[in-house]
């Protein structure tokens, strides 16, 4: 037992002698704050407040110098309080604009649509066209289509016919009217049966014919 205690004391004296200053790794111990600052001075960015301005890419601009920070298209002026950028009231882009450029501070329209679109078709400015037999249209400089629809008169017959490519119906057999269920031509008296003679109203072709009874054929004399 006494021998073990003696050996332990020997180890306590021997171990410190083996640990030399060269064996100590300084990375295992945090450096003082002052040492950190002095060793990392090259990593600290300069403070340009009141002296200049820095853009997103790290470029430094002098006081009074104009520059474009980041992706902005509007110029800025470097001041002691930082960049002061233009914020102009840009004109509105034409609703018919088909090509817009953003090279300047304000977007600029480079091409305006020079045609009209109507029912899926394109027409040139001032071009006249008929989308249907009863419509007459024109492409205006404002890129809008103005149309006029024909107003057809009342036909002078009871059986008008719509011809291809014509707007209004036509009376192929001339004016006429109804006498009961029979169509009779206008302008003459028509004997519709053994006792009635009818004729059309003058100008009112849609009204029933005027009829008068005459002596019926085959009537026996008294």
Please give the chain's pLDDT, 222 residues, in tens.
Answer: 444 444 443 444 444 444 444 444 444 444 444 444 444 444 344 556 667 888 777 888 888 888 877 666 788 889 888 888 877 788 888 777 888 887 777 888 888 788 898 999 999 999 999 998 899 999 998 888 999 998 888 888 999 998 888 899 999 888 999 998 889 998 888 888 888 889 888 767 778 888 888 777 655 444
In this structure, the answer to whether residues 118 and 85 fall within a common structural domain is no
Measured CA distances, 38 to 33, 41, 48, 138, 195 (Å)? 9, 6, 21, 81, 133
Q: Quick one: pLDDT at residue 72? A: 63
In this structure, the answer to whether residues 171 and 189 fall within a common structural domain is yes
In this structure, the answer to whether residues 196 and 164 fall within a common structural domain is yes
51: nearest Cα among 42, 60, 41: 60
Asked whether the beta carbons of 90 and 106 are under 8 A apart, the reply is: yes
In this structure, the answer to whether residues 186 and 203 fall within a common structural domain is yes
Give domain status of residue 45, yes or no.
Answer: no
In this structure, the answer to whether residues 142 and 159 fall within a common structural domain is no
User: How many domains are there within the chain?
Assistant: 3
Give domain status of residue 59, yes or no.
Answer: yes
In this structure, the answer to whether residues 193 and 163 fall within a common structural domain is yes
In this structure, the answer to whether residues 161 and 208 fall within a common structural domain is yes
Q: Quick one: pLDDT at residue 55? A: 79
Give domain status of residue 182, yes or no.
Answer: yes
In this structure, the answer to whether residues 142 and 175 fall within a common structural domain is no
Give domain status of residue 72, yes or no.
Answer: yes
Give domain status of residue 108, yes or no.
Answer: no
pTM across the whole model? 0.40
Give domain status of residue 82, yes or no.
Answer: yes
Question: In the structure encoding, which two tokens stand for residue 208, read together?
Answer: 């029933």
96: nearest Cα among 123, 121, 114: 114
In this structure, the answer to whether residues 92 and 118 fall within a common structural domain is no
In this structure, the answer to whether residues 158 and 210 fall within a common structural domain is yes
83: nearest Cα among 60, 106, 57: 60
Determine the Cα–Cα distance for residues 141 and 161; give it in Å rounded to an integer.
Answer: 38
Determine the Cα–Cα distance for residues 2 and 199; give it in Å rounded to an integer.
Answer: 157
Give domain status of residue 24, yes or no.
Answer: no
CATH of the domain at 71: 2.10.70
Determine the Cα–Cα distance for residues 130 and 5; give it in Å rounded to an integer.
Answer: 121
> Counting every residue, how long is the chain?
222
In this structure, the answer to whether residues 203 and 177 fall within a common structural domain is yes
Domain span at residue 83 reads 51-98
125: nearest Cα among 113, 135, 136: 113
In this structure, the answer to whether residues 143 and 160 fall within a common structural domain is no
Q: Quick one: pLDDT at residue 32? A: 47
Asked whether the beta carbons of 177 and 207 are under 8 A apart, the reply is: yes
Asked whether the beta carbons of 209 and 184 are under 8 A apart, the reply is: yes
Instruction: Report the 10 Å Cβ neighbour count for 16.
Output: 8
Asked whether the beta carbons of 205 and 155 are under 8 A apart, the reply is: yes
């Amino acid at each position: 037992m006494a021998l073990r205690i003696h050996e332990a004391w020997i180890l306590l004296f021997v171990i410190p002698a083996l640990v030399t200053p060269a064996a100590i790794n300084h990375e295992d111990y945090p450096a003082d704050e002052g040492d950190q600052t002095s060793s990392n001075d090259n990593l600290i960015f300069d403070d340009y407040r009141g002296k200049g301005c820095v853009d997103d890419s790290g470029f430094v601009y002098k006081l009074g110098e104009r520059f474009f920070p980041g992706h902005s298209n509007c110029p800025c002026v470097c001041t002691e309080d930082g960049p002061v950028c233009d914020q102009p009231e840009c004109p509105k882009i034409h609703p018919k604009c088909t090509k817009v450029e953003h090279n300047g501070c304000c977007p600029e329209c480079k091409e305006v649509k020079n045609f009209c679109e109507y029912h899926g078709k394109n027409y040139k400015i001032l071009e006249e066209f008929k989308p249907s037999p009863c419509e007459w249209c024109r492409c205006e400089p404002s890129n809008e289509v103005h149309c006029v629809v024909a107003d057809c008169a009342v036909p002078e017959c009871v059986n008008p016919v719509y011809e291809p490519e014509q707007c209004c119906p036509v009376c192929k057999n001339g004016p006429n009217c109804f006498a009961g269920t029979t169509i009779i031509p206008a302008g003459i008296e028509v004997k519709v049966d053994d006792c009635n003679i009818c004729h059309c109203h003058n100008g009112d072709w849609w009204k029933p014919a005027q009829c008068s009874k005459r002596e019926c054929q085959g009537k026996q004399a008294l």
